[in-house]
């Protein structure tokens, strides 16, 4: 009989968001009259901007004519999109990234998981705790960990706490690690990293021959001009970092699917024999073998994010969600609740009242206020006693959610 990948059995019951979905579905089935407001998973709610829709439609129209029809595209993405990304996301900030170092894909969740395939299974992995659960789960699936303890920490991973005690600035690992996941603006805490803080990590990676896997999926939400948008704004990062970006939260593409990964040609890792190999070629090999590219109309839609009409429309969308985040933050603060984030990110990280556990608070909020958030402990042991609220919803729902929240905890 075929055998399963035993590492999957080490995973905790279910992926965080489906588990929340299951609890909410059960509650809704038992309470059909309840008007539940969901500020749990960070899924966008507002329509795609008109310039994007127009480019999307135009892309579809081209497929309707034999002369403009396209079949397989380049796996790494069409040049028009890679060049638009290079120019607008990187060159405009004085950052050196070449268009052929950009790999267009269908999502950062997939890319942050898939990237592990090009690294040896004996690499030591460091993650900041709390963390986007995909980084941990994909390492468990790949066999890089032992079992988890009762707090959900897996043996073999190096956890670096980011808590109120260190103002959410994680310390450098005390031991040498090979791979480090960093996510800024941070999911789940909504906090950002300064240039100096990122420079410490780049310096560590250069000294220790480590690779930083930098998730910048929320960079478009940065409002503070001093905060870097890309790890490559830090000198020397091109030699040690891979960066992930996404159109999901930037332009409302969670259902459309388009993202990108930057693998500079200068970033290297070694063979067991000690030979230094560029990761660009390995990722290109993996990408072209296992992926057939993002569809043409979707890439045209993504290109429109950078057009003269698209730019202000996308900015308005981000401003809309950032205003939601501000309303949540200020509304909760006014009730004496301690909150973090939400200024340069679409997430507000809330201290649960009276040290209530994250899941108890989740259940209480769902039952008494018909409100859904994400329990902080779902992001790691250091998230216990916290709760994440997402700013992705209509204004009306956000305002109502804040009223309900204040009634429960005020």
Out of 10, 23, 109, 364, which residue is the one contacting ligand MLT (CB under 6 A)? 109
42 counts as binding ligand MLT under rule CB under 6 A: yes
> What does the alpha-carbon distance between residue 7 and residue 142 come to, in Å, rounded to a whole number?
7
Closest C-alpha to 88, from 253, 282, 230, 298 = 230
Query: Quick one: which segment of 37-45, 152-160, 225-233, 274-282 binds ligand MLT (CB under 6 A)?
Result: 37-45
Measured CA to CA in angstroms, residue 75 lies from 70, 71, 264, 279, 315 at distances of: 13, 12, 17, 17, 29
Report whether 316 contacts 389 (CB < 8 A). no
Token representation of residue 222: 């940065």
Closest C-alpha to 375, from 152, 88, 120 = 152
For ligand MLT, the nearest residue by Cβ is 42
41 counts as binding ligand MLT under rule CB under 6 A: yes
Q: Considering beta carbons, is residue 42 or 185 the nearer one to ligand MLT? A: 42
Site string for ligand MLT, 174-193 (x = CB under 6 A): -------------x------
| Minimum distance of ligand MLT from residue 393's CB (angstroms) | 12
| Minimum distance of ligand MLT from residue 89's CB (angstroms) | 18
170 counts as binding ligand MLT under rule CB under 6 A: no
Q: In the block, which residue shows the tokens 């059995």? A: 9
Query: Quick one: which segment of 40-48, 165-173, 265-273, 321-329 binds ligand MLT (CB under 6 A)?
Result: 40-48
Measured CA to CA in angstroms, residue 263 lies from 100, 111, 244 at distances of: 9, 12, 9
130 counts as binding ligand MLT under rule CB under 6 A: no
Measured CA to CA in angstroms, residue 319 lies from 220, 223, 251, 279, 351 at distances of: 10, 10, 11, 36, 25
Site string for ligand MLT, 302-341 (x = CB under 6 A): ----------------------------------------
> Which H/E stretch holds residue 270?
strand 268-270
Query: Quick one: which segment of 39-47, 63-71, 121-129, 140-148 binds ligand MLT (CB under 6 A)?
Result: 39-47
295 counts as binding ligand MLT under rule CB under 6 A: no
Token representation of residue 326: 């501000």
377 counts as binding ligand MLT under rule CB under 6 A: no
Q: Which residues bind ligand MLT (CB under 6 A)?
A: 41-43, 109, 132, 187
């Amino acid at each position: 009989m075929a055998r399963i990948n035993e590492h999957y059995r080490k995973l905790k019951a279910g992926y965080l968001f489906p588990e929340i979905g299951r609890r909410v579905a059960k509650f809704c089935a038992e309470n059909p009259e309840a008007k539940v407001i969901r500020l749990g998973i960070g899924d966008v709610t507002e329509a795609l901007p008109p310039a994007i829709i127009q480019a999307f439609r135009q892309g579809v129209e081209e497929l309707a004519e034999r002369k403009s029809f396209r079949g397989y595209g380049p796996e790494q993405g069409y040049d028009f999109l890679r060049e638009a990304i290079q120019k607008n996301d990187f060159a405009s900030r004085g950052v050196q990234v070449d268009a052929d170092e950009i790999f267009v894909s269908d999502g950062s969740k997939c890319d942050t998981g898939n990237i592990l395939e090009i690294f040896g299974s004996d690499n030591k992995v460091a993650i900041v705790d709390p963390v986007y659960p995909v980084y941990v789960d994909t390492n468990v699936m790949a066999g890089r960990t032992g079992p988890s303890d009762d707090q959900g920490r897996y043996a073999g991973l190096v956890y670096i706490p980011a808590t109120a005690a260190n103002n959410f600035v994680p310390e450098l690992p005390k031991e040498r690690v090979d791979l480090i996941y960093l996510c800024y603006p941070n999911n789940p805490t909504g906090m950002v990293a300064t240039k100096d803080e990122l420079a410490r990590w780049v310096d560590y990676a250069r000294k220790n021959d480590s690779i930083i896997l930098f998730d910048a999926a929320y960079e478009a939400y940065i409002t503070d001009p001093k905060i870097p948008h890309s790890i490559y704004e830090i000198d020397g990062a091109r030699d040690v970092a891979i960066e992930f970006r996404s159109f999901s939260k930037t332009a409302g593409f969670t259902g459309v699917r388009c993202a990108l990964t930057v693998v500079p040609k200068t970033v290297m890792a070694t063979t067991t024999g000690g030979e230094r190999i560029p990761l660009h070629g390995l990722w290109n090999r993996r990408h072209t073998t296992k992926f057939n590219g993002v569809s043409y109309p979707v890439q045209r839609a993504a290109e429109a994010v950078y057009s003269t009409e698209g730019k202000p429309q996308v900015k308005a969308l981000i401003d809309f969600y950032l205003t939601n985040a501000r309303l949540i933050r200020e509304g909760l603060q006014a009730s004496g609740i301690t909150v973090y984030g939400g200024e340069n990110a679409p997430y507000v990280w809330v201290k649960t009242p009276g040290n209530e556990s994250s899941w108890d608070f989740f259940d209480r909020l769902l039952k008494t206020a018909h409100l859904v958030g994400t329990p902080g402990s779902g992001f790691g042991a250091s998230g216990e006693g916290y709760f994440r609220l997402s700013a992705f919803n209509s204004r009306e729902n956000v305002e109502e959610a804040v009223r309900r929240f204040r009634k429960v905890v005020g």
